[in-house]
Amino acid sequence: MAKLTQDELLAQFEEMTLIELSEFVKAFEDKFDVTAAAAAPVVMAGGVAGGAAAEAEEEKDEFDVILTGAGDKKIQVIKVVRELTSLGLKEAKDLVDGAPKPVLEKVAKDAAEKAAESLKGAGASVEVK
């Protein structure tokens, strides 16, 4: 089998629907035992003092909204997840079924709090980290 170049692979991915691409990513993750989720930011600058790193942690400006449970009103929670994200019905249902899972990642504090309130209003249990 001929090895495809990066440009050829990208051309193939351009022809795929979002659902097909999502299924490919899941298959890729399973096959190679990896995850496509964004890794936590890593500080790689030399000379950064430990105190400065701890200070940066305290002044956090990006938050993750994590769905820890759907509660009794699962359908309402799925609707809110769809409103908050660009996920389709099946993807939103899978996210809710697979809780605990992040719904939103690296969002501003006020957006994270509003999303958490919406999810809690629908009956879900939520964490903001």
CA distances for 21 relative to 10, 15, 26, 31, 113, angstroms = 11, 9, 9, 15, 31
Give 10-residue mean pLDDT values along the chain (129 residues): 84 84 84 68 49 55 86 88 87 88 86 88 88
pLDDT computed for residue 26 by the predictor: 85
The beta strand positions in the chain, using DSSP E, are 63-69, 101-107, 125-128
Task: Give the global pTM.
Answer: 0.52
Domain ranges (residues) in the chain: 7-37, 63-128
pLDDT of residue 40: 44
Note the CATH number of domain 63-128: 3.30.1390.10
Predicted pLDDT at 73: 86
